Chains A and B, each alone.
Chain A
Amino acid sequence: MKERTGVLKFFKYVLIYLLLIVFLMPFYLMVINSFKTTQEFVSNPFSLPDAKKIGFNNFISAFEKMNFLKAIGNSTVITVISIFLILLTSSMAAYFLVRHKWKINKIIFAILVASMIVPFQAIMIPLVSIYGKLNLMNSKWILMFMYMGFGQAFAIFIFHGFIKNIPLEMEESGLIDGCSKVQSFFQIVFPLLRPVLVTVLILDVLWIWNDYLLPSLVLLSPAERTLPLSTYSFFNTYSVDYAPLMAGIVLTIIPVVIVYLFSQKQIIHGVVQGAIK
């Protein structure tokens, strides 16, 4: 009996680690091939790069052609400001919705929750049409405003669920001391939101940092491109020379992997919390 479970256990390990290798193989292949020339890649994608010829030419070429610094700068500014706006406004709104059980608030909350099922494709055409007519396109500020709007429903939903469980007594002492509503929110409630703020923050970073479709509709000039947009245009413009393209992929993945290495636990925890709420 004992021997059998031992064998079973061995197979379990073999199976799961084999699966992991298959899972991560694409990333491994991208990394080794990003150091080779296109011919070397085409003739044998599995070989390790030749130690004598190893170089960063592909990376330099990708870095320049993708306008990497500019793109990563745009992505960072857009992600940071959009998320700041989402977290601030949605937590305030959620607080108000929980603390005032007015009929209008219940209706607003129901509309917000229902809106989460609307796919972006059902909004995209009128969105482009309206903002295009108002001449508001091609600005990263408008894009941030849009993210702020699209981010509300989910964030309010999560904050709402959390604030519901904060006892009112915690605020009452503050209100007796003559705190205004704003003060009592920022001094008493907001600090308690920390764990859910992190959850919403992580999910919104993953969404906005990687989003392609919305910025592709709003940001039209090359100087405004975010990282996914510049990756796309890089691939479309230089589709013949594979090696720099693979270096470009590795470049775009590196920042994400670095962040992931340091906050892997929080990210996974945040994603689970966001999904099961």
Chain B
Amino acid sequence: MNRKNKLLGNIGNFILFMGPSLFAFACVLIIPFLYGIYLTFTDYSPIRITYEFVGFSNFRAVFTDKEFWQQFLKTLGYVLYSTIFCNLLAFILAYLLTSNIRGRNFLRAGFFTPNLIGGIVLGYIWKFIFANVVTKLGETLDYQPLKTSFLTHPDRAIVAMIIVTVWQYAGYLMIIYIAGFVGIPREVQEASEIDGATGLKKLFSVTIPLMVPSFIICFFIMISRGFMTYDLNLALTNGQPYGSTRLAAMHIYQKAFQANEYGIGQAEAIIFFITVAIAAVTQVLLTKKFEVEA
């Protein structure tokens, strides 16, 4: 009897403590995720009344869709360049900010500011910058490449996306790198200096190897956020000119909610999900190899 009561009590507590959390989690994540897999095998569309089971034909359609793969490649390039340049800039900023500089808190707060603001607003700000301010600068300096807007040229519009992304996240990654720099034990730093490692030598042979955990986090953040970029894409370029900046996330959105092809859109989304997962996990495993103990 006592055991039975305890079991009932446990179940009661489980429902009380876990119930609301699990219910919401299941309703918005687990169920849609599973239903999404089901959707990929149907030709479901909200504008038709009936739908049929179509096997793998959605995936076949995606794999033969040239436009999707072009934009997919573009997305890979965008993520790659954004990740490299953003981490580089963030690391330099963190390095400068942790080297005995005055006004550190002020500088840190300043560089972090873009992260407080959503992608929609940031995108519109930069739309003005590229369309009106940069072109004006080009005229004033009489420098031809800047005279026409970055946003009207297919190859340069994606560069504009990368510039804004780097600007947006550099301050965020910077504060993670600062935490990494500060976290290096003082004894290790002093010992390396006694051994004659100073300046750049110390940076490359002592500091960077000890900061591998920070690199893992920062690469991870940039890779996952880069793939998911939508707001900024929508506000800054809206995929233009000629669809040259339509990144994968936007492509999926338009396939589903403008072309009303839920089945194909979801098949793309699943391929997208697998890509993000592989990219993120590979990065962690690769970077972990460089990890050393202090």
Closest chain B residue to A43 by CB distance? B136
Q: Quick one: which of A20, A132, A152, A260 contacts B21, CB cutoff 8 A?
A: A152
Q: Are B266 and A125 in contact (CB under 8 A)?
A: yes
Residue A247, interface by CB 8 Å: no
Closest chain B residue to A209 by CB distance? B118
Q: What is the interface size of chain A, counting residues whose CB is below 8 A from a CB of the partner?
A: 86
Residue A171, interface by CB 8 Å: no
Find chain A residues with CB under 8 A from B286 CB. Answer: none
Q: Are B128 and A125 in contact (CB under 8 A)?
A: no
Find chain A residues with CB under 8 A from B256 CB. Answer: 124-125, 128
Interface contacts (Cβ under 8 Å), in number, total 240
Q: Are A125 and B276 in contact (CB under 8 A)?
A: no
Residue A264, interface by CB 8 Å: yes
Find chain B residues with CB under 8 A from A123 CB. Answer: 28-29, 32-33, 36
Q: Name the distance in Å between B292's Cβ and chain A's nearest Cβ.
A: 18
Residue A246, interface by CB 8 Å: yes
Residue A242, interface by CB 8 Å: yes
Closest chain A residue to B268 by CB distance? A121
Q: Name the distance in Å between B284's Cβ and chain A's nearest Cβ.
A: 11
Q: Are B132 and A129 in contact (CB under 8 A)?
A: no
Given known contacts A125-B265, A271-B175, A148 and B217 CB-to-CB distance under 8 angstroms: no
Residue B141, interface by CB 8 Å: no
What is the bound-complex CA distance between A92 and B17, given in angstroms? 5
Q: Are A242 and B16 in contact (CB under 8 A)?
A: no
Q: Are B97 and A16 in contact (CB under 8 A)?
A: yes
Please classify the interface of chain A as helix (H, G, I), strand (E, B), loop, or mixed, using the class held by over half of its residues: helix
Q: Are B224 and A119 in contact (CB under 8 A)?
A: yes
Residue B1, interface by CB 8 Å: no
Per-residue CB proximity of A13-24 to B under 8 Å, as 1/0? 101110110011
Residue B291, interface by CB 8 Å: no
Find chain A residues with CB under 8 A from B101 CB. Answer: 12-13, 16
Find chain B residues with CB under 8 A from A127 CB. Answer: 28, 32
Residue B108, interface by CB 8 Å: yes
Given known contacts A19-B93, A124-B256, A182-B16, A129 and B33 CB-to-CB distance under 8 angstroms: no
Per-residue CB proximity of B124-138 to A under 8 Å, as 1/0? 111011001100100
Closest chain A residue to B248 by CB distance? A121
Q: Are B109 and A268 in contact (CB under 8 A)?
A: yes
Q: Are B32 and A130 in contact (CB under 8 A)?
A: yes
Which of B222-271 touch A at CB < 8 Å? Answer: 224, 227-228, 230-231, 234-235, 248-249, 252-253, 256-257, 262, 265-266, 269-270
Given known contacts A126-B36, A212-B231, A249 and B269 CB-to-CB distance under 8 angstroms: no
Residue A157, interface by CB 8 Å: no
Seen from chain B, the residues whose Cβ lies within 8 Å of a Cβ on chain A are: 10, 13-14, 16-18, 20-22, 24-33, 35-36, 39, 44, 46, 93, 96-97, 99, 101, 105, 107-121, 124-126, 128-129, 132-133, 136, 167, 170-172, 175-176, 178-179, 213-214, 217, 221, 224, 227-228, 230-231, 234-235, 248-249, 252-253, 256-257, 262, 265-266, 269-270, 272-273, 276-277, 280
In the complex, 20 of the A-B residue pairs with CB atoms within 8 angstroms, ordered by the A residue number, are A12-B99, A20-B107, A23-B170, A96-B17, A112-B25, A118-B33, A122-B269, A125-B39, A126-B33, A126-B266, A127-B32, A128-B256, A129-B35, A145-B24, A145-B27, A149-B29, A181-B13, A210-B116, A212-B230, A264-B109
